[in-house]
Structure 1
């Protein structure tokens, strides 16, 4: 007896209730009331965290955020031991989260050099007193300051496959040779290659990947090539990129589904330092092909592959330890500025292309575990068109970026004008529980005056979006009532849309924080406090006598065995013919008590009163 399926079938005496299949008479009177109440949902708890926070507050369930420097990629906006939920968010478009406590619009881009070719569109910045960049699309090399373009007679006639610079000179390669010139001046042939060629300027040396071989383009008898430093034995091997570390030159390539990065170091044992192969510095997972590598600050290396972007750290011996894929889209170009890496984003900004930004100063841990080479990232500049992004560079010595979209041309970051709009999504706010919630209010903080407008919306678990409020001027979003979801929900996302000023394209709103207020949405359980008769001889409400001498003790023992198990049992109100599933509710008394008013004899006189506290486990009544 005593399971949820054990029911009492009324026979004979008119019992009032049955618990776990055992019938009882109620002992209700002025001194022994029967009570019904609602169970407490939010339990009392002690906050032992070092710093006070939302967990210290009563009444509302709160979730808020006042800094966004952890970047995108967060699924659930739940607390964890490393507090990453407080700085990360779901996703953003057209916004910069990189200044602590500020979420603002990025600068817009504009198309500069048009290029209809499907050949890789390479870019490289330089300065001759004016910030400029070279654009190599098909067989056309162009010098541009972002406005004025000059076609460069670079010396070759085939599609440009390699582009490098020592700071003032350009080096351009096709399948015939390597050519060099200064600024927008004409180029001349340096070396004959006769094969597909990629170039890189590393450690003060012009390096080339020609066919399966790596060359340092120095010495020898130009235009005849010097001896190669390394020739791959892999059939069909192609070099894809060359870069430098603190004291190492790296070259990446692939054959079929195998891809690796090789290192070259300086041998200083002779009269003059000589560049020599140092072996494989890193191997990529099977099927992942390196498109580009970019060494930065002597310590980091951005690795763009056909599957995404990885960030590596360069060890003392030149070996590379790289982390997981930060973004999962083909990455063909990477460049560094300040503490950031910028990587190409192919069709991954609302279906269009542009750049990702990775903050090397913000490693991301996972529940207190070591960072493991994961860094904060978010989408950055946009072209507002789809396509492969072949190149990215800085416009000379400025902080403005330039990137190219295959088949369309180059896009330059504007000096001052902002994106018309930007969108921000939090992670899913579920308060770290699957229990349904009643989401009630939203607050959004912003810098004043508000230049432009802010729209707050809610995304529900069905994917539906409901606009809550739009503010501009001196208005603020303060405890705005949520119009959605109209029923309880496990989670919601906050969406913020920032729109720049109507009259000043260089000004836009700045968000400094947001907060949601919610309440538990579970149907509250009911609690019954029942006084029950437990005597040898009892009488029902019609005067019918029940029992025999010595009945109480075995009956009491049987009832205690039922409730001791802690399982769900049936509670039947025989007066109303209803049944519900309950458990004994453990308050300070344990939820059960038996009281005797006089001492028992040897085998009789055990009679007394049972007080049992029952809590429903389902709201259904049958």
Structure 2
């Protein structure tokens, strides 16, 4: 007579048991065990056991406001066809600021600011050599020819970008500041402020007697910050200074920049770790407008000092600080509301042109200096009251030399930018010739998930002929860079198979190296878009659909009868307590002596009883359960 298994003494409760609970065979030859409970399989043509792979991608309806690659089936796609959102993107995923796929990771030597085009910038050339350790100033002007003044150490030079004239400006000390009313220059040293026209000789206009001097032309008048005081240099008995219009109460205060807005003159300065911008509004006293006292228009975060400032288009104020660059906006009252730091490098010089600010990039372009360009016409959405003041930016012109960028200006009335690198000299943007090479790097393409991916194909669209060459490479999470293909002439990069990385990866970056034409330096490739194709790379889970016997009395595969009258309900309740926890449980195949860790898939568990068991009352029927593996390990 066979031995029957003992009755279950009490229902299971709490989170006792789980993946570690297994069944040790005693007498009957059960087929499987789930969570430590043994069962006979109930397989027949009407109740098949199935085994397959779990679906990775779910069926979904795309109701997003912006249709896109998420609407397409099969491949996971990520592409970009415009670059006007600028650099600074870590992950190439759609979000609030990149919902139109306009941003990217980084670029050097490239112009992303024309919609749908990525092309080489113009190169620069060293114009006025100045191996100075002092601040090097530049200021553009035109006298029928586009020119600029260069002030380095004690030397003032007038240049048209190729030929130079040394100006006898009147002083003999280091030039500390430079301003212009459009025709005349005003050069300041620790002795005085000197005035001259074009490349003509200058004469003393005002005494200063202070090594801390900044001058600026604002709202039709010459302004000066000398020591802790601000002066309107008009009236009185030159060269004796008039009475100051404002003196800062901090004795150690130094003024650093002067600019004009639509209704006020702005002067920035600092003392120690405190920095602020003051406004001076024009009042009408009879027929002569005079300056009212200084009122603070903005204060900077502690430890951040204003180094340069330029109001532009009557609305914006560029603020260059010891920590980076901020875009400010003028309120109706003349106060300044500014946004977050866009770039984090000291910004000592800037100039506005078209819809852009060109600002100094100190040692920020692969270790060398040059310019950033900030697009005032492309605000990027963000949280908070200064959301519209976070603007697109990217690196721009390059000096291919390191050092502080003290001055930025335009060559006369042209669109050519001039900037200085301390210790090297002034660099002028070439009229026609392009940079020899430029690089573009996307953000990390991860498809908005940490799931491992198999990156399969790359497409890079470009205008043809290329007028140069394009090399495409990929960067993986290890930092490894692997070249995919180089094309030139009329060749294209269309669904090129990616042979690296050889394993799955969480993310991948695309790096393009764009080289100008080897014959004509004025021509270079134009990239119009790129695309990755990938597939999910995780090991797919296995899914089992099992029909199980659940009767009081059952017969194993050797004919042995197990069970007792009334055992089914207790077994069902105990089994349901095991699986309803949602925990990992052990699936044992007692026929092959293997164990797999599983969970109940999609809550698919059901007990069916179509008719009462024969010759007895109570419970008896079939269990249908769908299980999913949580690991590929089988023991």
Q: Same fold (TM over 0.5)?
A: yes
- The one of 104, 114, 137 equivalent to 2:119 is 104
Give the equivalent residue in structure 1 for 2:6. Answer: none
CA distance in 1, matches of 2:618, 2:153: 105
Distance 1:50 1:303 in 2: 36
Q: How many residues align?
A: 619
* 1:306 and 2:322 are equivalent in the alignment: yes
The answer as to 2:486 corresponding to 1:486 is: no
Cα distance, 1:147–1:366 mapped onto 2, change above 3 Å: same
Aligned to 2:43: 28
Q: Which residue of 1 aligns with 2:625?
A: 612
Map 1:123-272 onto structure 2 (within 5 A): 123-196=138-211, 197-272=213-288
How far off is 1:597 after superposition?
Answer: 4.0
Displacement after TM superposition at 1:580 (Å)? 1.4
CA distance in 2, matches of 1:212, 1:320: 22
Aligned counterpart for 1:579 among listed residues 595, 599, 608: 595
**What is the Cα deviation at residue 579 of structure 1?**
1.3
Report what 1:7 is aligned to.
22
Residue by residue, what CA displacement relative to the aligned partner does 1:176-215 show, whole Å, maximum 9, x if unpaired?
Answer: 0000111000000101111122110000100111111111
What is the distance in 1 between the residues matched to 2:399 and 2:558?
87
Aligned-pair CA distance for 1:570: 1.2
CA contact (8 A) 1:591 1:612 kept: yes
Give 1:37-436 correspondences, 5 Å limit: 37-81=52-96, 83-84=98-99, 86-196=101-211, 197-366=213-382, 371-436=387-452
Change (3 A) 1:600 1:577: closer
Q: Is the 8 A contact 2:339 2:386 kept in 1?
A: no
SS at the partner of 2:451?
A: coil
Q: Distance in 1 between matches of 2:465 and 2:538?
A: 41
Could you state the TM-score of these two structures normalised by the residue count of structure 1?
0.97
Q: Is the 8 A contact 1:199 1:208 kept in 2?
A: yes
Answer yes or no: is the 8 Å Cα contact 1:84–1:364 preserved in 2: no
For the 8 Å contact 2:96–2:381, the answer to whether it is kept is no
Take 2:195 and 2:256, find their aligned partners in 1: how far apart are those partners? 20
What per-residue deviation string (whole Å, max 9, x for no partner) do you get for residues 394-440 of structure 1?
00000000000001100000000000011001110000000100001
**Counterpart-to-counterpart distance in 1, 2:615 and 2:140:** 103
C-alpha distance 60-370 of structure 1, shift in aligned 2 (>3 A)? farther
Correspondence for 1:527 among 530, 537, 543: 543
Stretch of structure 1 that moved more, 268-277 or 318-327: 268-277
Question: How many angstroms apart in 2 are the aligned matches of 1:300 and 1:606?
Answer: 80
Aligned-partner Cα distance in 2 for 1:259–1:241: 12
Shift of 1:247: 1.5
Whether 1:544 aligns to 2:560 is yes
Aligned CA distance change for structure 1 residues 368 and 238 (closer, same or farther; 3 Å):
closer
Task: Measure, in 1, the Cα distance between the counterparts of 2:447 and 2:217.
Answer: 52
SS in 2 for 1:617: strand
Question: TM-score if structure 2 supplies the norm length?
Answer: 0.95
State the 4+ residue runs in structure 1 displaced beyond 6 angstroms: 367-370
Shift of 1:101: 0.4
Q: CA deviation at 1:366?
A: 3.0
State the distance in 1 between where 2:535 and 2:383 align.
26
Shift of 1:370: 6.9
Question: Which segment drifts farther, 76-85 or 280-289?
Answer: 76-85
Whole-angstrom CA distance in 1 between matches of 2:464 and 2:203: 58
How many angstroms apart in 2 are the aligned matches of 1:421 and 1:118? 30
Residue 292 of structure 1: CA displacement?
0.6
Q: Matches of 1:81 and 1:266 in 2, distance apart? A: 41
Distance in 2 of aligned mates of 1:137 and 1:230: 30
Matches of residues 400-479 of structure 1 in structure 2 within 5 Å? Answer: 400-479=416-495
Give unpaired runs (5+ residues) of structure 1.
none
**Distance between the aligned counterparts of 1:595 and 1:432, measured in 2?**
42
Question: What are the superposed Cα offsets for residues 258-309 of structure 1, whole Å, 9 maximum, x if unpaired?
Answer: 1111111111143311112241011011100110111111111100011000
Does the 8 Å contact 1:123/1:393 carry over to 2?
Answer: yes
Stretch of structure 1 that moved more, 26-35 or 325-334: 26-35
Aligned residue in 1 for 2:3: none
Q: Distance in 2 between matches of 1:69 and 1:101?
A: 8
- Cα pair distance change 1:175/1:83, threshold 3 Å: closer
Conserved 8 A contact 1:78-1:85: no
Q: 2:604 aligns with which of 546, 570, 591?
A: 591
Distance in 1 of aligned mates of 2:340 and 2:621: 69
Task: Tell me, in whole angstroms, the C-alpha distance in 2 between the residues paired with 1:225 and 1:557.
Answer: 98
* Aligned partners of 2:317 and 2:328 also within 8 Å: yes
Secondary structure of the equivalent of 1:345?
strand
CA distance in 2, matches of 1:406, 1:82: 36
Q: Is the 8 A contact 2:475 2:509 kept in 1?
A: yes
CA contact (8 A) 2:467 2:525 kept: yes
SS in 1 for 2:634: coil
